[in-house]
Amino acid sequence: MTKYYISTFGCQMNVHDSEKMSGILKAEGYIEADSLRDADLVIFNTCSIRQKAEQKFFSELGRLKELKKRKPGLTIAVAGCIAQQEGKNILKRVPYVDHVMGPQNIHMVRDILKSNINTIAIDDNPLIADTELPVERKDEVRAWINIMYGCNNFCSYCIVPYTRGRERSRPSAAILHEIKGLAERGYGEVTLLGQNVNSYADDISFPELLKAVDKIEGIRRVRFVTSHPKDLSDDLILAIRDSEKVCEHIHLPLQSGSTKILSLMNRKYGYDDYIGKVDKLRKEIPGIAITSDIIAGFPDETVEDHRMTIKALHDIQFDGIFAFHYSVRAGTRAAVMEGQVEDHIKLSRLNEIFEVQNDISERKNKALLNSVQEILLEMPDEKNPKKMSGRTQTNKIVSVYFDKENATLKSGDLINVSIIKANRHSLEGIVKP
Ligand code: SAM
Ligand code: SF4
């Protein structure tokens, strides 16, 4: 029996694509190998969002050269965004790779792997949203569900619209059917997934989809990522407010506090528009957690622009951020812009961003000390049987400690926890008696 191993890099979209490839292979009778060295077939599901992710993949691929020499029957496939971008160049650069398939072609994984000749599958797939694939899920409590594919926004720094193609929404009936099936299998939390979920457009709008998911019996929590600020409508804010299970958390990437930089980034909103949306969210949903993405050192970013981003962090008080220094991506508009910022400046700005936000995140977490939070239990701790991890509604990670009397608690339980310790990026608590 053929053993496969999938090595996944990058975002949740890639993690979920890997779950689909795994679903297809298992349905074909393949079995999952415990490690890469034990596999007859290795798939790298790659990410090209930043240069660092790309370098990490190529160095891991390099390590397979010896293994392939010793095990000539080993099949190596490269999937994901680097596959889409590089196409047949990967075979030229790394001749021991057998197959290349972009993110729009993972449905063909079975046929590609059976082929005796090198395959390059990087065509646009207009049917991606209408193709239902089996999914082999890794998590037993939380499930991710694609509601749309691709992106039309062409932010000037971003490679995604080139690697994942045009925006295509999945039919709402298929999404709801999948989530009902997950509820029957005991999943407690679903996350609706897309590059820009709030531009979802099928027979119903995204706020209507959220309301429909909210009604599905058995599901306890509903989340969604990622939202683009330009498409955050009043209807969506009200749908979050009025739904029972939609969590009070939104990931709303700001990218920069300077309207000049936002315009160069082609984000289609200014800083004041963004603040207006944050105010509305907090007015309608007072406890909502807001997290964000920030890019440091975009072309033409002056010290003043950077100071505006620092001021934005102080003013908005995000619950958490992902921050990156700008990474040049060949083929994007920003790659050829004037005023590229030197690496050491990008890094020092990024460090300042982290320092400022770390204090804010810590202060926000400390404000939760002694409060009672509803936690969905996820993972038991392998080393400590009296500890499990879970999350608050607002998506903060909590280590939950319990005594013998709570020994019947298990993954998927929704429990009340008293917060006894607040760290910078996590909380600790005990089960409320
Ligand atoms: N569609 C989502 C959005 O708009 O937020 C996710 C896109 S991407 C996977 C996640 C984040 O990566 C972006 O929000 C941006 O901050 C960052 N990013 C994308 N391209 C980048 C680049 N060239 N350099 C640095 N960061 C980048
Ligand atoms: Fe990239 Fe912008 Fe699309 Fe997000 S919205 S995937 S940052 S182009």
Tens of pLDDT, residue by residue, the chain (433 residues)? 899 999 999 999 999 999 999 999 999 999 999 999 999 999 999 999 999 999 999 999 999 999 999 999 999 999 999 999 999 999 999 999 999 999 999 999 999 988 889 999 999 999 999 999 999 999 999 999 999 999 999 999 999 999 999 999 999 999 999 999 999 999 999 999 999 999 999 999 999 999 999 999 999 999 999 999 999 999 999 999 999 999 999 999 999 999 999 999 999 999 999 999 999 999 999 999 999 999 999 999 999 999 999 999 999 999 999 999 999 999 999 999 999 999 999 999 999 999 999 999 999 999 999 999 999 999 888 888 889 999 999 999 999 998 877 678 899 999 999 999 999 999 999 998 7
Question: Residue 314: left if φ>0, alpha if ψ -120 to 50, beta else—which one?
Answer: alpha
Closest ligand, as measured to the CA of 152:
2
Q: How far is the CA of 158 from the centre of ligand 1 (A)?
A: 6
Q: In angstroms, rounded to a whole number, what is the distance separating the alpha carbons of residues 208 and 233?
A: 12
Under DSSP, the state recorded for 285 is S
Instruction: Report pLDDT for 402.
Output: 86
Q: State the distance from the centre of ligand 1 to the C-alpha of 343, rounded, in angstroms.
A: 18
Q: Which two tokens stand for residue 123?
A: 């065509």
Q: Look up the pTM and report it.
A: 0.96
Neighbours of 71 (CB within 10 A): 12
The reported pLDDT for the residue numbered 306 is: 98
Tell me: cis bond preceding 392? Omega within 30 of 0 counts.
no
Tokens of 295: 């890019």
State which amino acid sits at residue 78. V
Q: Is the CB of 170 under 6 A from ligand 1?
A: no
* Parallel, antiparallel or unpaired: strands 221-225 and 249-251: unpaired
Output 202-209 pairs: Cβ under 8 A, ≥24 positions apart. 202/169, 202/170, 202/171, 202/172, 203/171, 203/172, 204/172, 205/235, 206/147, 206/236, 207/233, 207/235, 207/236, 207/238, 207/239, 208/239, 209/147, 209/172, 209/175
What are the strands of the beta sheet with 249-251, ordered from one edge? 249-251, 289-296, 320-325
Instruction: Fill in the amino acid letter for 287.
Output: G
Task: Pick from 324, 327, 349, 353 the residue to mutate for probing ligand 1's pocket: most ligand atoms within 8 Å of its CB.
Answer: 324
DSSP-derived letter for residue 170 is P
Q: Of 369, 373, 370, whose CA–CA distance to 423 is shortest? A: 369
374 alpha carbon – ligand 2 mean position (Å): 32
Give CA 363 to chain center in angstroms: 25
Which is it for strands 249-251 and 289-296: parallel, antiparallel or unpaired?
Answer: parallel
Residue from 293, 321, 333 whose mutation best tests the ligand 1 pocket (most atoms within 8 A of CB): 293
What are residue 273's phi and psi, to 5 degrees?
-60, -45
Kindly state if the Cβ of 327 falls inside 6 Å of ligand 2: no
- What's the gap in Å between 185 CA and the centre of ligand 1? 33
d(CA 133, CA 21) in angstroms, rounded, equals 9
Q: Give φ, ψ of 394 to 5 degrees.
A: -85, 10
> Which are the contacts of 384, defined by CB distance < 8 A and separation ≥ 6?
none
Q: Does the Cβ of 14 fall within 6 Å of ligand 1?
A: no
For ligand 2, the distance from its centroid to the CA atom of residue 158, given in whole angstroms, is 6
How far does the centroid of ligand 1 lie from the alpha carbon of residue 142, in Å?
24
Name every residue whose Cβ is closer than 8 Å to that of residue 309 and which is 6 or more positions away in sequence. 256, 257, 258, 294, 296, 353
Atom of ligand 1 nearest to the CA of 151: 1
Residue 419 one-letter amino acid: I
Residue 116 Cα to chain centre, angstroms: 34
Burial class of residue 287 (count of CB atoms within 10 Å of its CB; 0-12, 13-18, 19+): exposed
Ligand 2 pocket test: pick from 13, 48, 151 the residue with the most ligand atoms within 8 Å of its Cβ: 151
Rounded to the nearest angstrom, the distance between the alpha carbon of 181 and the centre of ligand 2 is: 30
Whole-Å CA distances, 376 to 7, 32, 189, 422 = 28, 29, 8, 18
Q: How far is the CA of 208 from the centre of ligand 1 (A)?
A: 27
Ligand 1 contact, 150 CB (< 6 A): no
